[in-house]
Chains A and B, each alone.
Chain A
Amino acid sequence: MLSRLLRRQHSVLPGFSLSLGLALLYLGLLVLVPLSAAFLKTATLSGPAFLAAVASPRALAAYRLSFGAAALAAALNAAAGLLVAWVLVRYRFPLRRLVDGLVDLPFALPTAVAGIALTALYASNGWVGRWLPFKVAFTPLGVWVALVFIGLPFVVRTLQPVLEELSHEREEAAATLGASRAQTLARVVLPTLAPALLTGFALAFARGLGEYGSVIFIAGNMPMLSEITPLLIVTKLEQYDYAGATAIAVVMLVASFALLLAINLLQAWTRRRQGER
């Protein structure tokens, strides 16, 4: 029945209804039903109670920190990620393959490990922290450092394939037409990379917004000052304020879904831009 309802083309291959049915059942039970619990729980709150939970001064401070630190970290990631991807694709140097492999470290390293390592490094007696004239660990700056760590591979891995596909011919053409190297980079290379760069930024931003493990060790976690939104959700849960925790979670979920949609559109744009060449 499922197959007659949905199929666009006839296929001789078996197993369509079975595999799609199983996949949808799995997604439904393990992802969609639990997520809908958050929205249904919030729907039991009255309007004013909902507003009081999601727009309290403490919640607003947490959103500001989460969105601000994630955006600033993704911005540094976009710049540094462009540099790293460029160097890895265009230049040859010793141990390049090893360095390339280590770009994925934030994907592979458990966030709690990253959290305590960054804290040890950037604390005022740490390898890096002792050389800095200002405090990093246990301040909002610490949140930013953790999010920079977490976000880097998103930008590098989004840019690398686009840079590899970028043909030298267009750069040569620009040069023969009299463009300087700087003009070629600004007018030819950068516009081609723009959609991928934006996608990488959005992916890093989305990840940073929800990040928990690597941040809570280094942040200091002072309410109103260095408390990220996911931590506020956990704090409310530990105080048995389920409705309050869920209301804030719903705000974050809506933001995440909007970002997911934006990322899908950006990726479609990236593919179109690549197809044009």
Chain B
Amino acid sequence: MSTYTGSAATTEPAWLRRALIAAALAFMALFLFLPLAVVFVEALKKGWDTYLAALLDDDALAALRLTLLAAAISVPLNLAFGLAAAWALAKFEFRGKSFVLSLIDLPFAVSPVIAGLVFVLVFGLQGWLGVWLQDHDVRVIFALPGIVLATVFVTVPFVARELIPLMQAQGTDQEEAAHVLGANGWQMFRRVTLPNVRWALLYGVILCNARAMGEFGAVSVVSGHVRGETNTLPLHIEVAYNDYQFAAAFAVASLLAGLALVTLVLKFAVERRLQNQLKKALQ
């Protein structure tokens, strides 16, 4: 009679374990690691001079400025929204709460192209406000405001989604204590709530920023692709690529791939702290 051993019954034989690890790594290499590597290899294929020239090109620099500007406006807006939404949803019980929660997730379910399209329907020349805007000489579509609106739309959920579960788990005891001790609303928020959620806040902002700087579909629909004026970095990549300037396209792409890697490192650093905080709150 064979004796039962815990390890043999609850795990796989060593050869199978190794085969499964190899299969998982092979799949990830094919679909994740190689695409990342190819960006840098293609970017440097024609040497450093071409690489730097592509990055220092006037249109590329204008695209970089526009990308930074659009993110610098959209991320703080969604940060403020995330804090307001999380305060209402996590600290109070009210009718229709789960409905509001699904509303926050809605932009993730909408195709980026449609996110751009709806703003064209409101602000475009044939749209609701088109004639009025033209009469007052205000440009929204094919200009910065449209790019910001589309970026905000696709990044609405990021901060709120990270804050709500944490603030729910933390409950209201600490804020109530501050209130009883005489703190006013602003003091309570700044001294108690904000420090308690700082990691979740940072985590949400990191993800929100990555998406804001990298958004392609929604921005592409509202931008109009005017070189040096309404092209963001991802749109600049498309224009260069379609002009068969592959080295230039990949050079700019390597910049955004670098941003993605920085995002992953920051995310990794913050994730553990956030999970510890959440675990502590749930105990």
Contacts and interface: CB of A to CB of B under 8 A. Distances in A.
Interface of A: 6-9, 11-16, 18-20, 22-24, 26-27, 30-35, 37-38, 41, 80, 83-84, 86-88, 90-91, 93, 99, 101-114, 116-118, 120-121, 126-128, 145, 148-149, 152, 168, 171-172, 175-176, 181, 184, 206, 209-213, 217, 229-231, 233-234, 237, 242, 245-246, 249, 252-253, 256-257, 259-260, 264
Interface in B1-43: 4, 6, 8-12, 17, 20-21, 23-25, 27-28, 30-36, 38-39, 42
Contacts of B217: 111, 212-213, 230
Given A184-B9, A213-B217, A13 B21 contact: no
Contacts of A171: 9-10
A249 B115 CA distance: 10
Contacts of B20: 83, 86-87, 91
Given A30-B152, A104-B264, A111-B217, A20 B109 contact: no
A24 B85 CA distance: 8
A249 B114 contact: yes
B121 A32 contact: no
| Max count, chain B CB within 10 A of own CB: residue among A113, A114, A118 | A113
A175 B4 contact: yes
Nearest 9 CB-CB pairs, A to B?
A210-B111, A110-B214, A175-B9, A213-B216, A212-B217, A34-B118, A20-B88, A23-B85, A108-B260
Contacts of B260: 105, 108-110, 113
User: At the interface, is chain B mostly helix, strand, loop or mixed?
Assistant: helix
A210 B241 contact: no
B157 to A, nearest CB: 10
Contact of B9 (A172, A256, A264): A172
B172 A116 contact: no
B241 A30 contact: no
Given A109-B260, A242-B126, A181 B9 contact: yes
Interface string B169-199: 0001001100110000100110000000000
